[in-house]
Amino acid sequence: MSSEQVKVPMDKAWRPQDVEPELYRSWEEAGLFVAHADRPRPKFSIVLPPPNVTGELHLGHAVSGTIQDVYCRYRRMLGFEVLWLPGTDHAAIGTQNVIERELAKEGRTKEELGRAAFQKLVDEWYRTYGNRIVEQYKRLGATLDWTRLRFTMDPAYIRSVREAFVRLYNDGLIYRGPRIVNWCPHCRSSISDLEVDWREHEDTLYYIRYDMADGDGALVVATVRPETMLADSGVAVNPNDARYRSFIGRRAFLPLVGRELPVVGDEYVKSDFGTGALKVTPGHDPNDYEIGQRHGLAIYTAIDKDRNIVNEPWVPDELRTRDALTARARIVEMLRDRDHLVKTEPYTHEVGHCDRCGEIIEPLVDEQWWCHMPPLRDPAVEVVTEGKTRFVPERYTKVYLDWMANLRDWNISRQLWLGHAVPVYYCDNKADHGGQTYTFASVEEPKACPQCGNQKLRPDPDVLDTWFSSALWPYATMGWPDETDDLRTFFPTDVLSTAREIIFLWVARMLMTSLRFMDDIPFRTVLIHAVIQDPQGQRMSKSKGNGVDPLEMIDLYGADAVRAYGAEVGMRGQDVRFDESKIEAYQRFANKLWNMARLVLGSAEGVATRPIEEIQASELDPAERWALSRLDAAIERATSDIESFRPGDAISGLRYFAWDETADWYLEAVKPSFRLQPTDPARVRAASVGMHLIRQLALLLHPFMPFLTEALWLKLPGGDQPIQAPREETIWPVPAGRRDEALEAHMGVLFEVVTRIRDAAKGLDAAAADTVMISAKRVAADPSAELLDSDYGRELVARLARVEFSDAAPAARTLVVGGLEILVGARAAAPSDHAALEREVNATRAKIDTLEQRLAKEEFVSKAKPEVVQRVRDDLSAARERLAILEDAFSRA
């Protein structure tokens, strides 16, 4: 460890903004996050879901990043060799759109620039923004291994993508062919079904009459897109629809075009929608395409890739090359003129949009590259069904499996200006290839046709869907297809933490490709984190402007506070509304811890503290034993919460232990010992226990709040190495066998006594009387009374409740806690609070009543578990004793 330790002055308040960047730098310089494949330790690995290279850290990244970091830090503390691998995604279609929008602001287009200049601009963007998000993850405190930073457009990654394509191609799973696709006229590319965003539109439904070719009758069809009728190749009716059965097998006459359309019977047609007759346009509607396939209908294309009407002979002259929208209006006019328009009505329906640019999707038939899914899918279904890969929360298993069951072939080609090129080449030297163009896929860029040696090869013009390349992320980043040390050591990864919206786009596809190429699952556990909505429950989005910038939150409250909040809500399994006050609360918690440490460290100054293991329970006073017992409980809970992917419960529980139990009860209880002479055994004990508690708290909280805890750790004895430094043995706390539940119960009663006295003394005129006095006597068998009745217990109660013991306190209030009757009063006479006593008597009677009724029920006693019945009996007898004391006090008062 070569780096200088960061010295943080013990000022009154914890100032994260001053300390965090410096600490992070020191960690990075010390190489704490660099994974070493050759270290002989158990391994733990996560790959960071690669954010878009042009992106910025948003709240979702912060939450997911925090969760991943919690697990990486936790595993390092357990002695694991941890790899958390970072990287960014080129996000072809997204990046292209972002840059195009920037160009548009200057009134320019990418077409003006040309391909080469545009590519230069893109590279510039990658350089500029690729590092921005890296810096932002550092602000969060993410222990990513920056020496392994990857980008999906790195040369090595490009090779992995080509390799994957070529293998699938050679295995016959990738093919090229004409099929109906979602075409985005703006992006001038196809997009996959998953990238279509459906939005509600108010349109008009047009009813159009198609006369029968034989002159006998007509069919009326309904459509919102009359312009597509030009490409109609049939009319479909439901074969069970009595109205139309006689039409099946005959021909209808397509208005304006004059084409004869076969009438087919197809179950797909809903008799109760529209007229029950459907115009079939296989070239421009996915469902019609399916119908067309079933009945062998012709495919016509009427609308081209720029959404213009095509220049075909069968298109009426005046419509040709018009844009489709004005063509629609004209077609409606023409139909009306020729009396083919039966009626129109307003119609609300969902229309597909490109989820990147917002353009309305144009379904059309096009030559595209497809990936055949079933052979990839089946193993990926199996591993999840068998639980080899597990979703947390578990319900996403069903979401995943349901989607997988209905997988269709994946359109993997895009017609964009940037992205991974489809590694396919064409040799047009047909003479040497039996009169055909020879097509082949190649990982390396081929210099010549492998068959005929022709050097003039034509590369395929398409690029690949971004998700095709990110589907390889967990192993391509580790060097696949080479058999690298990283792959051998860190693959499969342990955890994938991601947003649920990309379960299909990304998670499913990683599972499928990994099983194909690595013959193994890519990750064991998939954590689907919560979505943080705005305070009104709306989804945060750039366009709405309701987003919360995590960096702004870090500036305000510190990374520790933002992380603790993220860890608390991130894995609850439920979406949450953003609540800034919770981040603020964690900032105050950080400050609280800081001050607890200041108190304890101050108390230990000049004291020869002893290792806690050497201190026998018999040497400790009850509060100290209690604190160590609670510590064991806290360790056990936190560990199991983290292990079972409930980091929120872990951080909440630790906050409770630190603040309520350690600070408010324990430290207050032992404070006097802190003021004894440094050599006083009680001072040594208290300081030793205090240091131990701070040390353990720093370790337990470190995965969540790494900066503050590290700053504290470095001040503690033995804290000469950073918490994340590699160690032989585990540094994560383990229970020390000091749990003492009987003592916890007794101290619990003592604390309750304190609280009750504080409450009772509140109404007394202590100022006039100078001091509030109490007297206590044991009036019933209660094991807790012994501790309370001891000198130790009396002193503690008196001090914490700020009262004095007296055998003759004027009783203004009578309290019954456990088996003790406690009289609370002022030194001067105070009027007895009859009303309070009476309320308590009544409440106790009511409780006795309830319990008696339960026990009176035959069925309860016979059917309930014995321990439940016994508990009710115990409660009843305790309540009766209590009532007796209260009534006695009441009669005396």
What residues between 309 and 348 interact with RNA by CB under 7 A? Answer: none
Please choose, out of 12-20, 23-31, 113-121, 452-460, the segment that lies near RNA by the rule CB under 7 A: 12-20
- Name the residue nearer to RNA (CB basis): 493 or 603: 603
Query: Would you say 590 and 561 are in contact if contact means Cβ atoms under 8 Å apart?
Result: yes
Site for RNA in 368-427 (CB under 7 A): 395, 398-399, 402-403, 406
- CA 162 – CA 174 distance, rounded (Å): 13
Q: Quick one: CA torsion of 780, 784, 789, 795, rounded to 10 degrees? A: -150
Omega before residue 393 within 30° of 0, cis: yes
Site for RNA in 855-874 (CB under 7 A): 857, 859-860, 863-865, 868, 871
- CA 387 – CA 389 distance, rounded (Å): 5
Query: Would you say 749 and 789 are in contact if contact means Cβ atoms under 8 Å apart?
Result: no
End-to-end Cα, the chain, rounded Å:
72
Q: Does 543 bind RNA (CB under 7 A)?
A: no
Buried/exposed code over 491-503 (b: 16+ C-beta within 10 A; e: otherwise):
bbbbbbbbbbebb
- Name the residue nearer to RNA (CB basis): 441 or 883: 883
Q: Does 119 bind RNA (CB under 7 A)?
A: no
- CA 235 – CA 219 distance, rounded (Å): 8
Q: Does 274 bind RNA (CB under 7 A)?
A: yes
Q: Does 540 bind RNA (CB under 7 A)?
A: no
- Name the residue nearer to RNA (CB basis): 120 or 270: 270
- Name the residue nearer to RNA (CB basis): 78 or 351: 351
- Name the residue nearer to RNA (CB basis): 223 or 469: 223
CB of 576 to RNA, least distance (A): 4
Query: Would you say 566 and 63 are in contact if contact means Cβ atoms under 8 Å apart?
Result: yes
CB of 489 to RNA, least distance (A): 35
* Number of residues that make up the chain: 893
- Name the residue nearer to RNA (CB basis): 101 or 577: 577
Q: Does 13 bind RNA (CB under 7 A)?
A: yes
Q: Does 294 bind RNA (CB under 7 A)?
A: no
CB of 308 to RNA, least distance (A): 20
Query: Would you say 593 and 99 are in contact if contact means Cβ atoms under 8 Å apart?
Result: no
Angle between helices 508-517 and 155-170 (to 10 degrees): 70
Q: Does 652 bind RNA (CB under 7 A)?
A: yes
Query: Would you say 119 and 39 are in contact if contact means Cβ atoms under 8 Å apart?
Result: no
String of contacts with RNA for each residue 480-519, x by CB under 7 A: --------------------xx--x---------------
Q: Does 582 bind RNA (CB under 7 A)?
A: yes
- How, if at all, do strands 523-528 and 390-392 pair? parallel
CB of 15 to RNA, least distance (A): 6
String of contacts with RNA for each residue 550-569, x by CB under 7 A: -------------------x
CB of 92 to RNA, least distance (A): 20
For 813, phi and psi rounded to 5 degrees? -130, 140
Site for RNA in 712-731 (CB under 7 A): none
Please choose, out of 41-49, 310-318, 481-489, 658-666, the segment that lies near RNA by the rule CB under 7 A: 658-666
Query: Would you say 384 and 514 are in contact if contact means Cβ atoms under 8 Å apart?
Result: no
- CA 687 – CA 670 distance, rounded (Å): 9
- Name the residue nearer to RNA (CB basis): 349 or 458: 349
Q: Contact with RNA (CB under 7 A): which of 101, 588, 777, 839?
A: 588
Site for RNA in 762-791 (CB under 7 A): 762
CB of 771 to RNA, least distance (A): 14
Of 29, 38, 37, 44, which Cα lies nearest the Cα of 76? 44
- CA 406 – CA 331 distance, rounded (Å): 38
Please report how many Cα atoms fall inside a 13 Å half-sphere around the Cα of residue 834, on the Cβ side: 4
Q: Contact with RNA (CB under 7 A): which of 343, 539, 544, 777?
A: 539
Please choose, out of 10-18, 332-340, 419-427, 734-742, the segment that lies near RNA by the rule CB under 7 A: 10-18
Q: Any residues with CB less than 8 A from the CB of 322 and at least 6 apart, and which?
A: 308, 309, 330
Site for RNA in 169-208 (CB under 7 A): 193-194, 198
Query: How many chain residues touch RNA (CB under 7 A)?
Result: 91
Which pair of structure tokens corresponds to residue 108? 């320019």
User: Hey, CA dihedral for 187, 188, 191, 196, is it positive or negative?
Assistant: positive
- Name the residue nearer to RNA (CB basis): 39 or 539: 539
Type and span of the H or E element at 512: helix 508-517
Angle between helices 59-77 and 115-140 (to 10 degrees): 50
- CA-to-CA separations, 176 to 159, 412, 426, in angstroms, rounded: 21, 10, 13
String of contacts with RNA for each residue 671-710, x by CB under 7 A: x--x------------------------------------
Query: Would you say 687 and 608 are in contact if contact means Cβ atoms under 8 Å apart?
Result: no
Which residue is listed with tokens 């958390």? 84
Site for RNA in 517-536 (CB under 7 A): 533, 535
CB of 321 to RNA, least distance (A): 24
Which residue is listed with tokens 């213009």? 308
Q: Contact with RNA (CB under 7 A): which of 276, 474, 479, 703?
A: 276
Q: Does 596 bind RNA (CB under 7 A)?
A: yes
Radius of gyration of the chain (CA): 37
Q: Does 219 bind RNA (CB under 7 A)?
A: no
- Name the residue nearer to RNA (CB basis): 454 or 850: 850
- Name the residue nearer to RNA (CB basis): 271 or 439: 271
Please choose, out of 152-160, 318-326, 483-491, 843-851, the segment that lies near RNA by the rule CB under 7 A: 843-851
Q: Identify the bridge partners of residue 265 per DSSP, sorted by sequence position.
A: 237
Query: Would you say 380 and 515 are in contact if contact means Cβ atoms under 8 Å apart?
Result: yes
String of contacts with RNA for each residue 29-68, x by CB under 7 A: ----------------------------------------
- How, if at all, do strands 813-817 and 820-826 pair? antiparallel
- CA 498 – CA 400 distance, rounded (Å): 14
Q: Contact with RNA (CB under 7 A): which of 350, 367, 485, 852?
A: 350
Please choose, out of 439-447, 693-701, 719-727, 848-856, the segment that lies near RNA by the rule CB under 7 A: 848-856
Please report how many Cα atoms fall inside a 13 Å half-sphere around the Cα of residue 434, on the Cβ side: 3
Q: Contact with RNA (CB under 7 A): which of 101, 120, 245, 577?
A: 577
CA angle 47, 48, 52 (to 5 degrees): 135
Q: Contact with RNA (CB under 7 A): which of 76, 162, 279, 702?
A: 279
Query: Would you say 67 and 527 are in contact if contact means Cβ atoms under 8 Å apart?
Result: yes
CB of 339 to RNA, least distance (A): 20
Type and span of the H or E element at 886: helix 866-892
Alpha helices in 728-823 (DSSP H): 741-762, 766-769, 783-789, 791-801
Q: Contact with RNA (CB under 7 A): which of 73, 225, 683, 746?
A: 225
- Name the residue nearer to RNA (CB basis): 153 or 221: 221
Q: Does 104 bind RNA (CB under 7 A)?
A: no
Query: Would you say 558 and 585 are in contact if contact means Cβ atoms under 8 Å apart?
Result: no
String of contacts with RNA for each residue 254-273, x by CB under 7 A: --------------xxxx-x
Please choose, out of 584-592, 777-785, 808-816, 825-833, the segment that lies near RNA by the rule CB under 7 A: 584-592
CB of 18 to RNA, least distance (A): 11
Residue type, 289: Y
Q: Contact with RNA (CB under 7 A): which of 22, 28, 56, 759?
A: 759
- Name the residue nearer to RNA (CB basis): 211 or 575: 575
- Name the residue nearer to RNA (CB basis): 405 or 808: 405
